[in-house]
Structure 1
């Protein structure tokens, strides 16, 4: 009889995998509903939810249904929502976002009134509010960085005044965090944190999002969003935003950029978010509908990968569903 001690290590990793209780005891990374931030799309001038064909299960809600959606997420253990407006008052600069009675401000007030303890985060950009779909003021077929920053300062103060618990600028304009911080502080909102989309790539994974926000965008955002090939620049972008005062950093998209997420985690102690974007969600849905993957298993595994790579919080269209799965 062969002595197996001669062909394998004396320590056996499988000893701690033998039963569910043992595996649970030594599990290094765990998901909880409070890890998730739920994105919610709200459209003006509709009376019923509008399904988003490329994102099964995700809809654009009418304003009069936002409150119940916030409350429903709270009951599932979600503690933060990220609001996106689909405006019917688009113009060249997104001026509706610095109107105290505009869609952005109304959404924030509604969400806070519905569940005061919910962390209401405002996505601060212009792409859903401009008729061209770019993330700021367009000059010579490109976004003018500094003009956009001036408008962004007005936008974030309106969001804070409406009751936002957190500002989340997503436009990838240079210097945006420093100027946002200055605008909030000057207006008396020193206590409002900023979650920066600090490392946001010009990614092909965003396609379904344009359906979600009914975007008129044509062209590319390659001049201001990051080249997917650049890992060192990705770290530099996040560290620059940290230096300018960002309270939370972010990597977007998620699954194709786990290396970037882990690299930033190794170099920064700031809380770190990741955005599981529309294309990631849509691929899992499509695979499940084709019968080639187990939707629940794959979705939860991908969310777990984000935490394992260093994310403290996960923005995901699976937030509500994953919260239910984790508590069943």
Structure 2
């Protein structure tokens, strides 16, 4: 651009500014980048460190006072956003013995991945899912849910929500039931019995009681871990993913929720994946074993129950020092629905 043009353009910009007009040509490359350049950073939260802070919070504020006693895992590259990626939220929630986190519902969809304790529950529309370590429990948007802990030990789980996605669309609503718990509608485990065995009640029958598009909300560790081990015993391993299984919505074979996908992986001891990148920012939880995640030029150690975030379009290589089992969730569901998702094996 000739130097003599710049002063004239600057005067034009100043004249336009009060009328909320901006020149696209000054920002086109930032608005339409050649490839994703996420401000989110690769990061690891050590479970032991986070747990110590969470237990301190448990001494200072009750679940009822807090409504949800949670420590947010905010990505250091996204300060002030409460996001672990641009589109997802993550936090660790604590329910102490005898506590109930009051019943509410909201537009945001959530998953709970249990990290510690046994016997607490998440109730969805009045049905309890009794939780064990590494169970996956869903609370889809708009459904009443509360949490309780009748056991004698603390319960800690990872909350994964689409809060930043809902905020992007300015589409968030929330409502309190006005009671600590939803009245019980059916016995615990009823949904698993009806929808959890690759079968379902015939649609329209009196037994078909769950929402048509999201019938199942409890995926037990005992079942997914057995399936993953069975596949690993006979299937050829994928060089970029290891052995991997995706959690499915039995209604349509798609992702577990409209905005969130989830999967598990198993890497045998000594196995190292080839580098791979994808546009879905992904949150990993180490279920078992130890290893390393190579994220670009950074190496992050992996230990049981640690949480690691891999930003969009960041090359990931996984190394397993011992047999390594991982749980992961991402915004892949949203991206596929919007025709945005891409992946690349490097």
Name the TM tier (shorter chain): 0.3 to 0.5
TM-score, normalization by structure 1: 0.33
Which is helix-richer, 1 or 2? 1
Report which structure shows greater RCO (CA 8 Å, sep ≥6).
1
Which is strand-richer, 1 or 2? 2
Greater gyration radius:
2
